[in-house]
Structure 1
Amino acid sequence: MKYIRYILALTVFFTFSGCSVYNFTGTGKIDAKTFQVNYFQNVSELIEPGIDRDFTLRLQDMIQNQTNLSLTNTNGDLVYEGEIVDYRVSPMTATAELTAAQSRLSITVNLRFSNKNKPEENFEKRFSFYDDFSGTSLPTGAQLKKSLDLIFERITQDIFSDTLAKW
């Protein structure tokens, strides 16, 4: 009877102690309390107004929604900064009339990540993704919104995985 209590107590202890190290986003234990996302300016040759602001906000929202970190404007434990270095629309396939049957919108973001608590984790890396759409459509209005949503979702998820999830 005495041993059963000890075994039960140890089982409960190890079960609950393991839960504090991992969560569903995969971030594990983060040695930071705050993060800051500096404005990602669009420095590509082709400028689409507003995508720099939209991308910056999407990255902030992604980190806020999936961690317990607090957003700050200055002196964050984790700092995300960089720029949109490429915004490109290009034809992918052609029709018999030599018009685009399919077009591709691609975006590349250069990220500089720094962790003031663990400087060995600092890095600079480019992240990119694309969306293909009908060549008869232009990347404006609803088509542009759909493409940007898809591209920003993928890039911010990749940034999150590389900086916090450590998959």
Structure 2
Amino acid sequence: MTWSKCSPPLLGRAYGVLALLMLLSLSGCSVYSFTGTNIDPQVKTISISTFQNNANNGPSTLSQRFTEEFKNYFQRNTTLKLVPRDGDLQFEGQIIAYDFAPAAIQRENGVDQAGINRLTIQVRVRFTNTNDPKQDFEQTFQSTGDFAATRDVSSINNDPSALRLPINNIITDTFNKSVANW
């Protein structure tokens, strides 16, 4: 039988089987999920210590808020079980900077003033993978949020939605570095 005599449905099935075999051969030994994680199947648990606020300023709830959002993000995007300590994957760290400063100066009526205020948050993260120490790292992650010059630091500190973007960016960057291997 030659390929020219194959019926279109048979030829379509042959291409489908070939595509499936190619997909399986590319998958290798690691596990990939639609959330973008690349977690070894032996990794079952995660522990996340409280991120202490070592910055000189910032809202009193920053440590608790950052830690809870960190835990929630990993629980939403992985199947790992959160344990109090000694997880297969371990996160700890501290908030090392929380700075609010003018970012764009504008001249209005002959006077220089802030056009935009920028909040910068830096968090030092230590990641330990007990199953693969080659993936361990300690790194500082930073993110910013820009606000109208009419907003001062106290209005930002009292507005939970204002901190959402910088906090989420840091958590996403940490997630990508640790379990998505990006």
TM-score normalised according to structure 2 size: 0.78
- Alpha-carbon distance between aligned partners in 1 of 2:20 and 2:147, rounded to the nearest angstrom: 54
3-state SS of paired residue (2:119):
strand
Quick one: distance in 2 between partners of 1:9 and 1:25? 25
- Look up the match of 1:33: 44
Deviations 1:69-127 (A, max 9, x none): 00000110100000000000001123433332210011000000001111111110000
Sequence identity percentage? 31
The CA deviation at 1:11 is 5.2
* Match of residue 169 from structure 2: 154
Q: Aligned to 2:143, which of 101, 125, 129?
A: 129
CA contact (8 A) 1:105 1:147 kept: no
Q: 5+ unaligned residues in a row in structure 2: which ranges? A: 2-9
Q: CA-to-partner distance for each residue in 1:11-38, whole Å, 9 max, x for gaps?
A: 59746785x8321122134241000110
Asked if 1:48 is matched to 2:59, the reply is yes
Question: 1:11-160 alignment to 2 at 5 Å?
Answer: 14=21, 18=27, 21-30=31-40, 31-96=42-107, 97-141=111-155, 144-160=159-175
Cα shift at 1:148: 0.9
Amino acid at match of 2:34: F
Instruction: Provide, for residues 20-57 of structure 1, a one-character-per-residue CA deviation record: whole Å limited to 9, x for no partner.
Output: 83211221342410001100000012242101111101
SS at match of 1:85: strand
Equivalences, count? 163
> 2: distance between equivalents of 1:21 and 1:8?
25
Tell me the amino acid that sits aligned with residue 160 of structure 1: F
- Tell me which amino acid in the other structure corresponds to 2:142: S
SS at match of 1:154: helix
TM-score by length of 1: 0.85
Deviation of the 1:144 alpha carbon: 3.7
Long gaps (5+) in structure 1: none
Change (3 A) 1:98 1:164: same
Question: Does structure 1 conserve the Cα–Cα contact (< 8 Å) formed by 2:39 and 2:179?
Answer: no
User: What SS does structure 1 have at the residue aligned with 2:163?
Assistant: helix
Residue identity opposite 2:152 in structure 1 = L
Cα distance, 1:145 vs structure 2: 2.2
